[in-house]
Structure 1
Amino acid sequence: MTSPSAPQPAPASEPAASPAPPPGCPAHTGGGALRLYGPEHAADPKATFEALRARGSVAPVEIAPGVEASLVLGYQSALEVLRSPERFSKDPRNWKALADGSVPADSPVVPMMMYRPNALWSDGEAHARYRGVITDSLSQVDPNALRGYVEESADILIDRIGARGNADLLGEYGALLPLLVFNRLFGCPADIGDKLVVGMSGIFDADADADKANQILTEGLAELVALKRREPGADVTSWMMAHPAKLGDEEMLHQLALLMGAGTEPEQNLICNALLLLLSDDRFAGDLAGGSMPVDEALDEVLWADPPIANYAVHYALQDTEVDGVEVVAGRPLLVSFTAANTDPALSGERRSGNRAHLSWSAGPHTCPAKSPARLISAVAVEKLLDRLPDIELDCEVDQLEWRQGPFHRALVALPVVYPPITVTAPAAADEPSGVTEWKTEPAPASPTPAPAPSSSTPQAATSTPREPVSVNAAPRRWWNFLGGSRRGR
């Protein structure tokens, strides 16, 4: 898999010397490092990155109380780390402070950084073996079937909120849709799926409950592995188990933890961050003829400027070395800031539309193996919502939105919206339970791949719901209003 082609750096210039952040800086620890956690950083991470850039393309940070790391901020520096497995290992057993007890095992960031025998935390032959299982199994998923799963899941969730006229798009849509799709693709019953999403979201927050969340996640994954050993089906979990690599139960559990982590929490953040951009940015306020950017370009903008995983890709230098002239100490966590690297001032050009050279999918041997299905899920989820609720608006000012704290993700606490209620022609949403457990996975088909579902161009049956004919929205109609109208023949 090829790595992205980098945008051309702007002509080099000698930067002016910048002072270290003053003690009053909200992200200052008092010990030289800046915090990547807490309410101040969550509210304005760009201020943290700007202060860190004054120290070079690699700078010291604190990712949890008493847990120090280095953060890669430059685009080219990030590529150097991501593409140099001979110098930088992914194996957390190289983390000296964790090994010697300086970082306690119950630190809130440990569940997101601890060694697990999976493709993310392995090097060399072990990495190739685990990654082969994942890529071979994911390749069996039919894209048309996946699109159908997303559309069906989206309709279920929109039917629940459509008649109400207001919703939290994160809690009632963005957070649930990836879970429903994951459950379907991986043959996961809803009760186990509930445990997985609670556990995974908890360890991403990296707070005091992270260890408990990790236990819940492990318990749910163990149940899924045991279930699929007994009852294999036409799903990704069963295909992984049947792979010639013959993964054991513990190895299966940890590959699933990786896929769960990559397929739910970041996906919900990509969906919701894209929806926020569409609902708040003036570039998206016109109609199609006016040149507004479609959903695909909004996703590009989010992946460049506000990616769902802001800082991660943890590496460990195998020996003391330098990156762009900055010393990197062996055995100290080295995180890549995808947000800072993507917004590196050295990158020339402002237009990001159609440019996929961002690092939000990582690069090098650990490039995300599922970026195509991940992008499909988010695009269909956003398009479906805007089609069904074409006059949707934010229910607060952008600066009133709250962001979840933690060093790794860029995630909203809630995304409140209002819209003219729609008439739901499917069974009344009020009659359905509000929990995720209403979703039931169907018995696995006998064929080796899921039966293809209709594409987006295929007319939908009873799940399609027209909105009420009278709109009270007097503001200029956004491009998705016209898109929705054209799909319904208006």
Structure 2
Amino acid sequence: MTIPSAQGRSGRAPLSSPIDTDGPRVSLYSPEFAADPHAAYRAMRERYGALVPVELAAGVPATLVIGYYTALQIMNDPDHFPADPRVWQRDVPDDCPVLPMMQWRPNALRNAGKEHARYRQVNTAGLDKVDQYRLHDTIAKLAIPLINSFCGDGSADLVRQYAFPLAFAVLNAMLGCPAELAQQAATGMAAIFEGVDADRGNQLLIGAMAELIQLKRVEPGDDITSRMLLHPAGLSDTEMVHQLGTLYGAGIEPQQNLIVNTLLLILTDERFGGSVLGGSLVTRDALDEVLFNDPPMANFCLSYPRQPILIDNVWLPAHQPVVISMAACNADPQIAANQYAGNRSHLSWGAGPHVCPASSMAYLIAQDAIDQLLDALPEIRLACTPDDLTWRPGPFHRALTALPITFPASPPLPQL
């Protein structure tokens, strides 16, 4: 099956597959890539066009999609580009650091067709009934004690002391997860994202979710977990474990990164720093620019072609990973715009049948988290030069190791 060229290059002779290339691959897991991925994307585009041979980990080849329209075609064609990795992973060693992030699970993220639809309807039913007015109050109640824990110090690390614990606590509240189980799940998910001791992290996450399910079967509440368990699709405990694991994967690391990356923009870009704090440009506009330029999941939306397929004059082999680079696609010169305020054309939530079902909640949580902090500490400043900041290596996320700030020490806020 041939897909017409997304970039009008049908006159070119078909190229060999990026998977089968004999040339060098671009490492997506190196510190050098993490330090300046945008320069890497520009070099990729100049050399390869829309489809790039990369490595996700040592010995794990993949094709990275950096063309916006090519990515849209792939994400909207699940028949030819399903998200099921089972054939691919047969030949992947158990200790592969990215396997826990990519492997098949009985969830909406790693299935296609009827099974995907079955899992997704359970997820959306649980998410759609979240009361967003109450969620706004929950965020405020959780943010204020965190701010109070450092407001008198005059300095803080917004990753460790604010964005991570806030995203963590908000998700736990929505899922109805007790603190001890939540901590185990967060530890496991962090290991999976980092690719360090990822197999043990996978087991920690699965164990915590299994305990949460048993708790909610006995003591259901007004939370996402209980609503998913009561859904008429009747998911098994094993299936429920993996739905909840997906929510933890989406609700902590990417949410934390969205908050932090947006705060970095506000702190370092005069267009946003003065405007957001002065009221002429809202936090939502800063979020939109980050979702274009530094999305929290830079490279994701994995698929595995059912058969060799020609797209953009490149043959992609069957059952090998195709990864969408949301960050690079958003910067594609064919669609790149200088105006981001109110612009929702980015691919950072994905597209097609696997589009993120919780984007409105992610916006709300990030916006409220940022506004709470700026309202409480309007004079925060970056405590180092932007060049001194470091980014965590990894093929999928765009994540700072720390975001140090300084500010005039302030008295605690009244608790709501």
TM class, shorter-length: over 0.9
Structure 2 residue 325 is the aligned partner of structure 1 residue 333? no
What is the 5 A alignment of 1:165-314? 165-207=154-196, 209-287=197-275, 292-314=280-302
Which residue number in structure 1 is paired with residue 3 of structure 2? none
Per-residue CA deviations over 1:18-76 (Å, capped at 9, x if unaligned) read xxxxxxxxxxx995211001110110111221222121201110010111000000000
Contact kept, 8 Å, 2:330 with 2:336, in 1: the verdict is no
Rounded to whole Å, the distance in 2 between the matches of 1:295 and 1:11 is: 38
Measure how far apart 1:285 and its partner are.
3.6
The answer for unaligned runs of 5 or more in structure 1 is 1-8, 16-28, 426-461, 465-490
Q: How does 1:429-444 map to 2 (within 5 A)?
A: none
Give how far 1:284 is off.
Answer: 2.1
* 1:167 alignment partner, SS class: strand
Question: In structure 2, how many angstroms separate the alpha carbons of the residues matched to 1:228 and 1:281?
Answer: 45
Contact 2:276 2:283 in 1 (8 A): no
Determine helix, strand or coil for the equivalent of 1:88: coil
Distance 1:290 1:390 in 2: 10
1:162 CA displacement: 1.0
Aligned-pair identity (%): 48
Asked if 1:65 is matched to 2:58, the reply is yes
CA contact (8 A) 1:10 1:347 kept: no
- The match for 1:152 is 141
Which of residues 445, 458, 463 in structure 1 aligns to 2:415? 463
Q: Is 1:117–2:106 an aligned residue pair?
A: yes
Map of 1:407 onto structure 2: 395
What is the TM-score normalised by the length of structure 1?
0.79
SS in structure 1 opposite 2:274?
A: coil
Aligned equivalent of 1:91: 84
- Taking the aligned partners of 1:142 and 1:334, their CA distance within structure 2 comes to 36
* Matched-pair contact (CA < 8 Å) for 1:338–1:359: yes
TM-aligned CA distance change 1:11 to 1:389, over 3 Å: farther
Question: Which residue identity is paired with 1:77?
Answer: T
Of residues 404-413 and 220-229 in structure 1, the stretch that sits farther from structure 2 once superposed is 220-229
Letter paired with 1:73: I
Q: 1:49 aligns with which of 41, 45, 56?
A: 41
Give the letter for the 2:95 counterpart: D
The structure where helix makes up a greater share of residues is 2
Counterpart in 1 of 2:343? 355
State how far apart, in whole Å, the 1-side matches of 2:385 and 2:208 are: 38
Amino acid at match of 1:39: P
Q: Which amino acid aligns with 2:258?
A: L
Corresponding pairs, count: 401
* Higher Rg of the two aligned structures: 1
- CA apart distance, 1:348: 4.8
Secondary structure at the counterpart of residue 188 of structure 2:
helix
Would you say the 8 A contact 1:179–1:264 is kept in 2?
A: yes
With over 3 angstroms needed to count, the CA separation of the structure-2 counterparts of 1:288 and 1:152, relative to structure 1, is closer
1:327 and 1:197 mapped to 2: Cα distance?
39
2:7–2:70 Cα contact (<8 Å) kept: no
- Distance of aligned partners of 1:390 and 1:30 in 2 relative to their CA distance in 1, 3 Å threshold: farther
Q: 1:74, 1:147 → 2: CA distance?
A: 37
Shift of 1:212: 1.7
Letter in structure 2 aligned against 1:189: P
- Give SS of 1:317's match: coil
* Whole-angstrom distance in 2 between the partners of 1:413 and 1:406: 12
User: Residues of 2 paired with 1:67 and 1:289: CA distance?
Assistant: 45
Superimposed CA distance per residue, residues 103-141 of structure 1 (whole angstroms, 9 cap, x where no aligned partner) = 312100000000000011111111111111111111111
Deviates more, 1:291-300 or 1:257-266: 291-300
1:74 to 47, 67, 82: 67
Matched residues in 2 for 1:417 and 1:79: separation?
38
Distance, in Å, in 2 between the alignment partners of 1:375 and 1:289 is 19
One-letter identity of the residue aligned with 2:99: V
Taking only aligned residues, the RMSD between alpha carbons, in angstroms, comes to 2.1
CA 1:399–1:124: 2 relative to 1, 3 Å: same
Shift of 1:287: 5.0
Greater shift, 361-370 or 224-233, is seen at 224-233
- How far the C-alpha of 1:263 sits from its partner, in A, is 0.9
Q: 1:67 to 1:10 in 2, by over 3 A?
A: closer
Query: Does the Cα contact within 8 Å between 1:35 and 1:41 map onto a contact in 2?
Result: yes
SS in 1 for 2:322: strand
Q: Name the TM-score, length of structure 2 as normaliser.
A: 0.93
Structure 1 residues 379, 291: closer, same or farther in 2, change over 3 A? closer
Counterpart of 1:164 in 2: which secondary structure? coil
